[in-house]
Amino acid sequence: MHRITLILALISSSPAFANDLVPASTPVNVARSDLQVSPDRDWNKLDARPGRNSETWTLDGELLNDVSFYGGTENNRTLFREVDRRNRPLPRFTSTMLPTDIPTLLENSYRIARDVSIFTLDSQEPIRFAGNPGIRFTYSFIGRDNLHRSGEAHAAIIDGRLYMATFEAPSIHYFANGIAAFRHIAASAHIARPARRR
Query: What confidence tens digit (pLDDT) does each residue in 111-145 have?
Result: 999 999 899 999 999 999 999 999 999 999 998 88
Domain ranges within the chain, ordered by starting residue:
2-191
CA neighbor of 79 nearest in space, from 57, 110, 58: 110
**pLDDT tens by residue, 143-164:** 888 999 999 999 999 999 999 9
In CATH terms, the superfamily for domain 2-191 is Mog1/PsbP, alpha/beta/alpha sandwich (3.40.1000.10)
What's the pTM value of the predicted model, to 2 decimals?
Answer: 0.88
**H or E element: which one contains 45?**
strand 43-45
- DSSP H or E segment with residue 11: helix 2-13
Question: Mean pLDDT in the chain?
Answer: 89
Distance (Å, rounded) from C-alpha 76 to C-alpha 13?
Answer: 37
Degrees (nearest 5) of the Cα angle 165, 162, 171? 25
AA letter at 178: G
User: Residue 194's pLDDT is what?
Assistant: 57
